[in-house]
Amino acid sequence: MQKDQIIRKDLKGFILTLAKSAKSMLNSFPFFVGIVILMGLFKVFIPNSVIYHIFTGNAWLDTAIGSLFGSILAGNPINSYIIANFLLKDGISLFAVTSFIVAWVTVGITQLPYEIQTLGKRFTIARNLSSFILSMFVSLITVVIVRALS
């Protein structure tokens, strides 16, 4: 009898948690749709040919520009590898491409409203700012290591 009561209590708690999660997801859905639309607009209005002409060849500047664009055009890792391949084939520096990839995955300016709503303003700003700065350092260190190993 006692085991049966524990199972019912656990089941009731599970259902309550599931209902709260579903409500949270429904409340977040409009923000998610907005983020998807914004990302689509960025991809339409900023063609790849424009990005190819922005990089200067200066390691420091290319790293900063790569991180900036990666932050704005945030996405998933699989897409970043495909884009990075095309950028490298078009002669964009490894510094720019590496910082772009790291910022693309870790920083998300287009996702700020959703992230602020979900995680809080202070945490979101601290996380994105530190991720942006670290994306540049990771890029510089990665390129130095790759060149040392080559």
Give CA separation, 91 vs 16, 42, 122, 145, in Å.
55, 23, 38, 20
User: What does the alpha-carbon distance between residue 41 and residue 45 come to, in Å, rounded to a whole number?
Assistant: 6
Beta-carbon contacts of 112 under 8 Å, excluding residues fewer than 6 positions away, are 124, 128
> Which residue's entry shows tokens 């040392």?
148
Contact 28, 113 (CB under 8 A): no
Domain ranges of the chain: 35-149
> Which residue's entry shows tokens 């998933």?
76
**pTM to 2 decimals?**
0.64
At 16 the pLDDT is 86
> Which residue's entry shows tokens 């923000």?
31
At 117 the pLDDT is 92
At 6 the pLDDT is 65
Q: Which helix (DSSP H) or strand (DSSP E) does residue 61 occupy? A: helix 59-72
Q: What is the full per-residue pLDDT of the chain (150 aa) written as tens digits?
A: 576 666 677 778 888 888 888 888 888 777 667 666 765 676 677 676 776 678 888 899 999 999 998 998 877 777 778 778 877 877 889 999 999 999 998 998 888 898 999 999 999 999 999 999 999 999 999 999 999 998
Q: Let me know if 112 is exposed, middle or buried by CB neighbors in 10 A (0-12, 13-18, 19+).
A: middle
At 18 the pLDDT is 86
> What would the two tokens of residue 113 be?
């409203």
Q: What share of the chain is helix, strand, coil (3-state, %, to 5)?
A: 85, 0, 15
At 101 the pLDDT is 93
